[in-house]
Amino acid sequence: MVAVAVGLVALAVLGIACWRYLPGIYAWLSNAGAVRTYVAEHAILARLAIVGINVLQVLLAFLPGEPVELASGYAFGFWEGTLLCLAASAIASTAIYLAVRRWGWRVVGLFFDRERLEHYGWLANTRRLELVMLIVFLIPGTPKDFLTYFAGLTRMRYLPVFAITTLGRIPSIVTSTVAASAFGDGNYAAAVIAVVVAGLLIVAGGVAYRSLERRCR
């Protein structure tokens, strides 16, 4: 009963906060010029914040990465938004690899069950592990945050893992930052094209992944 009461109070507070502040926040976020002006006025803090949020998203692998990538492109533009996402990925991937190497399944098991590990177990038995892992990472739609944790359980060394888990995210990040940056610039046609291309890549990536899985098993 206490838990239910606390939950109801929390929902009520959240509802009131949304009713009071959400319209203003939405109006501000809808103005790309205002957002980018704010970012320019708080240059260091804004960049540290987006990198920190992105690092947290990768560490907490159950959180989706696309909203953070879209926010990066919207607020900082394509080039800087992409670089900030890659920097965050590098930091998070290093932390994950070192933690998994030290504590193994105790870390991975915080976010994933054994069934997921077994589903991708064929990767660990592949002769050309680094190459296959890179290909899987480059395929849009694959669970990159899980694979970042998974890499620490394999025989892969740090530098290949670092390169794969960072550079392998480029296609996914670029499609998000291009779409968000174009939307922020008012280039809605380019934003729609980027979204369509991303969707096609995900479909093609799914087909490519299944083909690769059959070949490597």
Hey, what long-range contacts does 33-39 have (CB within 8 A, 24 or more apart)? 35/74, 35/75, 35/184, 36/75, 36/76, 36/77, 36/184, 39/75, 39/76
Reported pTM: 0.79
Burial environment of residue 168 by CB neighbours within 10 A (0 to 12, 13 to 18, 19 or more)? buried
pLDDT band per the 50, 70, 90 thresholds, residue 71: confident
pLDDT, greater one: 94 or 137: 94
* Averaged confidence pLDDT in the chain: 78
Average pLDDT (45-70) is 85
Residue environment code for 75-86, b if the CB has 16+ CB neighbours within 10 A, otherwise e: bbbbebbbebbb
Q: Where are the domains of the chain?
A: 40-216
